[in-house]
Amino acid sequence: MNDLLSVEHVTRIFALGGLLGRGQFAAVDDVSFSLKSAHPEIFAIIGESGSGKTTLARMVLNTLAPSKGLIRFLGDDISRFRGRRDRLQFMQKVQPIFQNPYEAFNPLKRVDRYLFASAYYFMERRSRDAREAAADEALRKVGLSLAEVKGRFPHELSGGQLQRASIARALISSPALIVADEPVSMVDASLRMSIVNLFKTLRDELKVSIIYITHDLATAYYISDRVLIMQKGKVVETGPARQVLSDPQRPYTILLRESILSPDDVDKAQPGVAARKDKRFANE
Amino acid sequence: MLRVFRDLFRYNREFAIGTILVLIVLSLAVASFFSPYPPQDSYVVPPDVPPCWAYPLGTNSRGQDVFWQLTVAMRNSLLFGIAVAFLSRIISLVIGLVSGYAGGVVDRVLMSINDTFVVLPLFPILTLFYFMMHDHMSWTLLALAMASLGWPYDARLIRSVALSLRNREFTTQSVFSGMSTSQILLGEHLPYALPIVISTTINNINWSIGLEVTLSVIGFTNIETPTIGTMIYWANQHTAMVAGIWWWVLAPVATVIMAFIGLFLLSVSINEFIDPRSRLARMGA
Amino acid sequence: MDTALTVRSLRAYYLTRYFGITREVRAVDDITLSVMRKEIYGIAGESSCGKSTFIKTIAAAVRPPLRVLGGSIKYSFLDRDLYDLNEKALADMRWKHLSCILQGSMNVLNPVRRVRESFKDFAFPHLGLARREFFDVVNQHLGRLHLSPSVLSAFPHELSGGMRQRVAIALATVCRPEFIIADEPTTALDVVVQKDVLALILETQREIGSSMVFVTHDLTVHANISNRLGIMYAGRLVEEGPTGDILHDPIHPYTRHLVASLPRIGDLTPKKALSGAPPSLADPPSGCRFHPRCPLAMDICRQANPELTPLASGRRVACYAVGPLVKPAADSAAAPQATQADKSAAFLQ
């Protein structure tokens, strides 16, 4: 049985500078992990900015090619997918969700356009009614309905609704894997949990595996099965979520864990000042 | 659509003035179809008569009614300008959008071609063209020549719009919705490029009419066809300014200036209206 | 006087007229609050609740289409209302008595000039020192913030995000202002850097003894920095009180929901979400603006807007269901609406 996704020693190098003094840096450096097809899971990739997590996501989605290493999806090397038909087949099974719900939709176009296009291309629904039915079905899975979304422009919906519409669009093709890049960081706190809960439903009821990329350890702890911690392009630690986050082994993971703010800190006499004295925070 | 037009007319002064001027010019052009004299004929009326009731803009030294000549001239110049603008728009849109979206080698090759055309000196080339073509020179040929020289600036502008749109997340979402490249370019990106397209079209019309006038005044086009430029050419041939036949020169010059200003005002006001930022503000984003 | 800032009945709307379409966005709708000396007053709320507009009004950074339609803003270091000052007085006051720490440090530091130039532009005119003494003061100040003097000769893009934000804090505090306004200063930062920067802000504020208004949507950040907290919803304040009290015992239904949906490490209990979405400020619901999403909504909530009422413990709540409010008479609710409409109409003549 093939792995659903197998990332093998993937490295991505970017060139810096102009004609003189060209430098290089590795945004992603020898990262490997794999997701099994047998049972769907939520796999969290945790890292700060500059850790390479977004670059890794783009490589998994096949919008960026690795400089070294290989990514396999269901056994096939995805860099071989060049022609339109191959790419459509791949996209049908692997879908993205973006960080900024307002940027994910063209502000001048209506939101249902992307839902109908997905239904048209991935489900071969040619007639208008069939497309609307497919869109409505997907929207209901995320707690919305076509009536709420039809004919609306992005600015007429809230961040939470837009993000859920994005998820519905990704679900139309019945994908096996969803790559979500910081899906709730730009959504308001009060709407955040509904989307995080939705991911749980996607895994449990619709059997979709999710790569959940975030810098927020609290939500990662709440829903993921396994985590991968990245720093400056390298893998720092990986393993089952509860284990890594409750009992971190590596210094960087320990640092991340201790940097989390908690609402209970309000009871401390001088919140945050204790951190000042800790030398680890002095430089970066 | 009509409501948009009415709103623009009421609230935007540039649009109102521009529309009025362009309507005047257009009605002149349309009036040309009712001209009682065949446009290319000469000596159909007494020559050198100053403006009066019978001949509102007077007559010229070739014995033609200046008013009716003007209507035909304006029509021909306008048609020419529109044809050139239309043709070169297509070229610059295609090259700009494809180059900006595709990137990489395609972009570099197209932009090298683009920049080569930018530095070509227009006037000497068109003059050379005239000398080569001479007797086979026709308006169609001239329009084609100018269209193939007038696209590079605007292609770069459109390319910059396409470049900025390529990295936006809704482009990736469009790709993952299965849309083809042409669907993305036309459906998603074109609305952002439209303000540039419209304003450059109108500017291009102005530019091509201007170039046509320049070439005609020197006599490098088919001078039998009445256009604004050829009217001025004939006026110069008959030394109208010295002979005191001022109405022959004033009429085409004043009309073409009115056309330029009107088109310019229209392009500025339409541009502001179509600009995505102002559209979003009106929609309430 | 013990208050650093007193805001009374502040109203600021965005009034736009585009091709015949008039829109009135009621971003700040009747806000009354006070900030004590040396206190950090936090403002929490979702996006588009009006908190950024509130910041603009108290920083005197109001520009069309935003207009202040009513109310008063008084700082302790000014002898008159903020909007009664002329341009020159405002310029003198800015940075020396009132400064800002904004969300993106790149919004503050000029990207094409060295950091040193930003210090010269912002702070030099106010300190009235000779050049060499000025830079001595700046270096000392940077040292207190654990920044090396070499940052002065760097360009902003050469520094990391966290360093830049610390430079922005240094810039805002070098003149030791009495009042600092912070608008989401740690939102775009990584988790590790965020804790550090918060600690820095706290330490600097304590050392200078200034008062602060700290705006962020993140309640866990408020838990770590604000002394008192004001919760904004749709342009209005719905609850106010000491941070600890609000987090342990929220009263208003909206606050209760916000506090309940905070995820904590080690806590796997399922969180419930609030239905509906924040209202549009151009067309807000009648009466209490929260009523469409409120589990405790009653008829009165649809008709009249509850006033922010003080409770015994020093807290204030605006709610008919859980607060101590008595239902008002029907006509007193109608009167405030009329003056609002008149003012907007007068502007648009």
Using a CB–CB cutoff of 8 Å, tell me whether B10 touches chain C: yes
Over its C-alpha atoms, chain A yields an Rg (Å, rounded) of 20
What is the residue whose two structure tokens read 């806000």? C31
For residue C90, what pLDDT is reported? 86
Cβ–Cβ below 8 Å for B178 and A107: no
Give per-residue pLDDT as tens, C84-115: 888 888 888 888 889 988 877 777 888 888 88
Between the alpha carbon of residue C91 and those of residues C61, C97, C107, C109, C152, the distances in Å are 11, 10, 19, 19, 24
Q: Is residue A284 part of a domain?
A: no
Q: Taking CB atoms and an 8 Å cutoff, what residues of chain B touch C21?
A: 282
For residue C272, what pLDDT is reported? 67
| Mean pLDDT for the stretch of residues C37-64 | 87
- Give, for all 285 residues of chain B, the pLDDT tens digit: 677 777 778 778 888 899 999 999 999 999 888 888 888 888 888 888 888 888 888 888 888 888 888 999 999 999 999 999 999 999 999 999 999 888 889 999 999 999 999 898 888 888 888 888 877 778 888 888 888 888 888 899 889 888 888 888 899 999 999 999 888 988 898 888 887 888 888 888 998 899 899 888 888 888 888 889 998 999 888 888 888 888 888 989 999 999 999 999 988 888 777 777 777 777 665
Q: Measure CB to CB from residue C243 to each of A157, A266, A270 and give the nearest one.
A: A266
| Mean pLDDT for the stretch of residues A32-50 | 89
The pTM for the full model equals 0.76
Task: Please determine, for residue A11, whether its predicted confidence score (pLDDT) is greater than 90.
Answer: yes
For residue C268, what pLDDT is reported? 63
For residue C349, what pLDDT is reported? 36
Q: Is residue A283 part of a domain?
A: no
Give per-residue pLDDT as tens, C259-279: 887 776 666 666 666 677 778
Cβ–Cβ below 8 Å for A155 and B280: yes
Tally C-beta pairs within 8 A across A and C.
136
Q: What is the CATH number of the domain that holds A203?
A: 3.40.50.300
- Other residues' Cβ atoms within 10 Å of the Cβ of residue C194: 26
For residue C324, what pLDDT is reported? 66
What is the residue whose two structure tokens read 């290989």? A70
- CATH architecture designation of domain B2-283: Orthogonal Bundle (1.10)
Q: How far apart are CA C114 and CA C253, in angstroms?
A: 49
| Mean pLDDT for the stretch of residues A134-148 | 87
Cβ–Cβ below 8 Å for A169 and B283: no
Tokens representing B25? 């010019």
For residue B284, what pLDDT is reported? 61
Q: What angle do CA C132, C133, C139 make, to 5 degrees?
A: 90
Cβ–Cβ below 8 Å for A216 and C278: no
* Total domains in the fold of chain A: 1
Q: How far apart are CA A256 and CA A253, in angstroms?
A: 5
Between the alpha carbon of residue B93 and those of residues A108, B145, B155, B198, B229, the distances in Å are 20, 18, 6, 11, 29
Q: Measure CB to CB from residue B169 to each of A104, A117, A153 and give the nearest one.
A: A104
| Chain B (217-276) residues lying within 8 Å, Cβ to Cβ, of chain C | 273
Decide if B25 contacts B73 (C-beta within 8 A).
no
Tally C-beta pairs within 8 A across A and B.
69
Q: Which domains does chain C have, with CATH numbers?
A: 3-97+177-265+277-347 (3.40.50.300)
- Other residues' Cβ atoms within 10 Å of the Cβ of residue A8: 16
Nearest CA of chain A to the CA of C125: how many Å? 32
Tell me, what's the ipTM? 0.85
For residue C19, what pLDDT is reported? 66
Give per-residue pLDDT as tens, C234-255: 889 999 999 988 888 888 988 9
Range of the domain at A248: 3-278
Q: Measure CB to CB from residue B169 to each of A88, A103, A153 and give the nearest one.
A: A103
Read off the pLDDT band of A19 (50, 70, 90). Answer: low
Give per-residue pLDDT as tens, A144-184: 888 888 888 888 887 888 899 999 999 998 999 999 998 98
Read off the pLDDT band of C329 (50, 70, 90). Answer: very low
What is the residue whose two structure tokens read 């008149």? C342
Give per-residue pLDDT as tens, C179-236: 999 988 887 777 788 888 888 888 888 888 899 999 988 888 898 899 999 999 988 9
For residue C99, the Cα-to-chain-centroid distance in whole angstroms is 13
Q: Mean pLDDT in chain C?
A: 82
Helices B66-102 and B246-274, interaxial angle, to 10°?
Answer: 30
